[in-house]
Chain A
Amino acid sequence: MHPTPLQRALAEAPDTARAQAARPEEEFFIFTLGPLTMAVTSQHVREVTRLTQPTPLPRAPSFLVGVVGSRGQVLPVVDLLRFLQQGEAKVLGGARMFIGESSGLIVGFVADQVVGLRRIFVADKLPPPAGGLAASEFLSGLVQHRELGTLSLIDLPKVMHAARALVVRR
């Protein structure tokens, strides 16, 4: 007796749901600074806190706005707008600081507003704009986000290590 179509289909049926084609995504920490909305991979962000007025360091490059105390630790604070040569951050009362961590380096970064965490499909990442802008070197890409507009994806470890190299070289 020949099996019916249903019996054939049942014979081929898997025991569990087949995995759908994976669409890789990454989690980003998103914040605004000046006119830009920036995103950094969340694995490099340790903490977000209110930014107290930094203590300026003599002879420091302009992107290093100073040091602050945080949980008994002294942390350098970087203005990403200055570092990327995109203007300068205004450290106002409501400013925030997120603490980035990479290979033993711990650095605070100024943020105007914290948007939060978002998952972004890797396939949605566009390459950084060409043209030799200083900022492009530290961008891992751009994303056109339906809700948030253009996101600049910052390569935070690269920024931290380049910033340190610039500071130490002085």
Chain B
Amino acid sequence: MSERAELVIFEIAGRRFGADMTQVRRIDRLDVAASVGAPLGRVHEGRRALVFSPDGERELHLAIDAVAGVQAVSSDELRRLPTAVGPSPLVIGAWLDRDAPVLLIDLYATQTSTAPEGHHA
């Protein structure tokens, strides 16, 4: 029997991402002072945030546009990033929603990240 995990699916600038449910403390109003910036692109609305705490004490906020839901997935539906893309601390893999990859984000890695580069900015 394959492993199962729960993902929080959220949207930033029209793109869907997934995060490990166990990393998310709650969904709350954005506290700009606690924001990790825009490692996944600039939000359109950005009034809400995923709240997480890498060290179990200080809370950090990732601004998002919307939460699309919580999705239970099996390991059969998950993929590591392709070799050609290489390892990335921020994007740890993908959930294949039919044939559309939803990038899986390590929220804890967003605290050291900067704004995205190139045409994704």
Q: Cβ of A93 < 8 Å from any Cβ of B?
A: no
Known A62-B119, A67-B101, A167-B85; judge A57-B91 contact (CB<8 A).
yes
Q: How distant is the Cα of A61 from the Cα of B85 in the complex, in angstroms?
A: 10
Q: Cβ of A158 < 8 Å from any Cβ of B?
A: no
Cβ–Cβ contact A55 & B120, under 8 A? no
Q: Cβ of B56 < 8 Å from any Cβ of A?
A: no
Q: How distant is the Cα of A68 from the Cα of B101 in the complex, in angstroms?
A: 6
Cβ–Cβ contact B82 & A55, under 8 A? no
Within 8 A of B (CB), among A75-111: 75-76, 104-107
Q: How distant is the Cα of A154 from the Cα of B103 in the complex, in angstroms?
A: 31
Interface size class of B (residues with CB under 8 A): 20 to 34
Chain B residues near A59 (CB, 8 Å)? 39, 88, 90, 113-114, 116-117, 120
Within 8 A of B (CB), among A42-61: 52, 55-61
Q: Cβ of A74 < 8 Å from any Cβ of B?
A: yes
Q: Cβ of A163 < 8 Å from any Cβ of B?
A: yes
Whole-angstrom distance between the Cβ of A64 and the nearest chain B Cβ: 7
Within 8 A of A (CB), among B68-83: 79-83
Of B84, B90, B100, the residue contacting A107 (CB under 8 A) is B84
Cβ–Cβ contact B101 & A55, under 8 A? yes
Cβ–Cβ contact A67 & B120, under 8 A? no
Whole-angstrom distance between the Cβ of B66 and the nearest chain A Cβ: 17
Cβ–Cβ contact A55 & B103, under 8 A? yes
B residues with CB within 8 A of A = 15, 39-41, 79-88, 90-91, 94, 96, 98-103, 113-114, 116-120
20 pairs from A and B in contact (CB 8 Å cutoff): A55-B102, A57-B103, A58-B41, A59-B39, A59-B88, A59-B117, A60-B85, A60-B118, A62-B119, A68-B100, A69-B96, A69-B100, A74-B80, A74-B94, A74-B96, A75-B82, A76-B84, A105-B83, A105-B84, A107-B84
